[in-house]
Amino acid sequence: MMLRNKKTTRRPASQVLAVLFGLILIVGWGCAEPQDSTHRSEVVIQAHSGEAQGTTYSIKYVSEVRLEEAVFEEIIEMMDREVSLWRSDSRLTAINQWPHSDSLYGFVDSLQIMGPLWALSEELHELTRGAFDPTVSPLVELWGFGLSKRTVVTPEMVDSVLAFTGLRPDRFDMNEEEANGHYVATWVRKGDPRGALDFNAVAQGYTVDLLLEELRIRGVVNAMVELGGEVVCRGTNAAGEPWRIAVDRPVSGSGSLDRVLETVVSVQDRAICTSGSYRKFYESKGQRYSHTIDPWTGYPAENGLLSATVLASTAAYADALATAFMVLGVDQTKGFLLAYPQLGLDVLLMSDDGKGGYDVWSTPGFDAVSTEL
């Protein structure tokens, strides 16, 4: 495992692109240039892109047949109808607005999205000992990172919300009813009417997994799917090489036209997701508040970790664990990786060094597939 110390001396995007020229065709979500004219004439890269879930998506795959945009749009719309916090007609909104603690909210999970997301959340909550927690939605709102207007937060306000958050049966529970071995309905119990779920830390990853699975069903062997920076890759790119995915340097204020890159990772049959605190934050009276909420304290996480990039078998796992690691911080994340080698994770952590720069720590497996810039 490596530890590298760096200052945040910004390299212009033009210089970074010059370094990457010849390595990748499109920085970030692209594929390498085919290496010979014969291969170039045979390989066809199909590309789709658009807006979804408050961000953008990009899909690339090797195929002579181009799929209709509706194939992907239907999956994205399906996810939105179920778990979007921004849609008043979503299933998740209905659950969160359920005003009773003495009766259950019932529905038929015909799309089988809510059930799997809940099961995955329970699993990850247990693995991370609570660092991943989909019940933090009221805390996200309290700190002004959701739909609510930002206001001054007091310790008393935090304590009052902590009293009904937490993924435990007496505060929030979801169960599926079966009859004769067949699914009948799903029932949600809220210990407090103010309880609410937020699947934002896993939903985008889960969406790209679904999109990749749809491509597999349709016979696509080589593909890359990206949504809001969450990426999953299958097979190889046009050159028969792993897909090249760029990871940003944790520099606040940079945008898509002025990205500062830290490394480029070769990804094949894996997912890569990054969570960071260097862009989504606000400052008040000299104090910086990260959008990552610590479920244990109820406050924005303060551990110096600027970003966590995770390579995992699925994007849902990589997405959720990147968020959990932002809560855990560097030392506890290292402990987690030692405790669960069976998960097959590779990780890159970039943290504030307290001197105007940042420290970089990565697992050997991550180093083996990355090109430092």
Measured CA to CA in angstroms, residue 232 lies from 95, 157, 265 at distances of: 30, 39, 12
Q: 3: which 2 tokens?
A: 């530890």
Measured CA to CA in angstroms, residue 207 lies from 113, 119, 212, 229, 264 at distances of: 10, 16, 9, 12, 23
Question: Which domain covers residue 122, as residue numbers?
Answer: 76-190
As a whole number of angstroms, the distance between CA 2 and CA 363 comes to 7
Q: Where are the alpha helices (DSSP H) in 7-68?
A: 13-20, 37-42
The radius of gyration of the chain's CA atoms, rounded to the nearest angstrom, is: 21
Let me know if residue 16 belongs to a domain.
no
As a whole number of angstroms, the distance between CA 18 and CA 16 comes to 5
Residue 349: the pLDDT is: 97
As a whole number of angstroms, the distance between CA 223 and CA 217 comes to 12
Residue 259: the pLDDT is: 73
Q: 171: which 2 tokens?
A: 């505060």
Let me know if residue 178 belongs to a domain.
yes
As a whole number of angstroms, the distance between CA 131 and CA 107 comes to 28
As a whole number of angstroms, the distance between CA 356 and CA 10 comes to 12
Q: At what angle do helices 315-339 and 200-217 cross, to 10 degrees?
A: 120
Residue 47 and residue 59 in contact, taking contact as beta carbons nearer than 8 Å? yes
Let me know if residue 110 belongs to a domain.
yes
The gap from C-alpha 65 to its chain's centroid, in whole angstroms, comes to 30
Let me know if residue 89 belongs to a domain.
yes
Q: 20: which 2 tokens?
A: 């990457």
Residue 241: the pLDDT is: 95
As a whole number of angstroms, the distance between CA 44 and CA 244 comes to 18
Measured CA to CA in angstroms, residue 223 lies from 112, 226, 239, 322 at distances of: 24, 10, 12, 23
* Phi and psi, residue 280, nearest 5°: -95, 95
Residue 8: the pLDDT is: 37
Q: Taking Cα atoms as reference points, which of 278, 143, 273, 147 lies closest to residue 208?
A: 273
Residue 68: the pLDDT is: 95
Let me know if residue 152 belongs to a domain.
yes
Let me know if residue 66 belongs to a domain.
no
Average pLDDT for runs of 10 along the chain of length 373: 41 33 32 35 83 90 94 95 94 97 96 94 96 95 80 93 95 95 96 95 96 96 96 95 94 62 96 83 56 92 93 97 96 97 97 90 96 80
The count of domains in the chain is 1
Q: 229: which 2 tokens?
A: 């920076």
Q: 83: which 2 tokens?
A: 């778990």
Residue 147: the pLDDT is: 65
Please report where in the chains the tokens 């370094």 appear, as a residue: 19
Let me know if residue 355 belongs to a domain.
no
* Phi and psi, residue 92, nearest 5°: -65, -40
Q: ∠ CA(78), CA(215), CA(67), 5° rounding? A: 85
Q: Could you give the 3-state DSSP secondary structure of residue 317? A: helix
As a whole number of angstroms, the distance between CA 138 and CA 136 comes to 6
Residue 284: the pLDDT is: 55
Q: Could you give the 3-state DSSP secondary structure of residue 94? A: helix
The gap from C-alpha 329 to its chain's centroid, in whole angstroms, comes to 17
Residue 9: the pLDDT is: 37
CATH number of the domain enclosing 98: 3.10.520.10
Q: How far apart are the first and last CA of the chain?
A: 18
Residue 276: the pLDDT is: 87
Residue 13: the pLDDT is: 33
Q: Could you give the 3-state DSSP secondary structure of residue 172? A: strand
Residue 150: the pLDDT is: 76
Let me know if residue 46 belongs to a domain.
no
Residue 192: the pLDDT is: 97
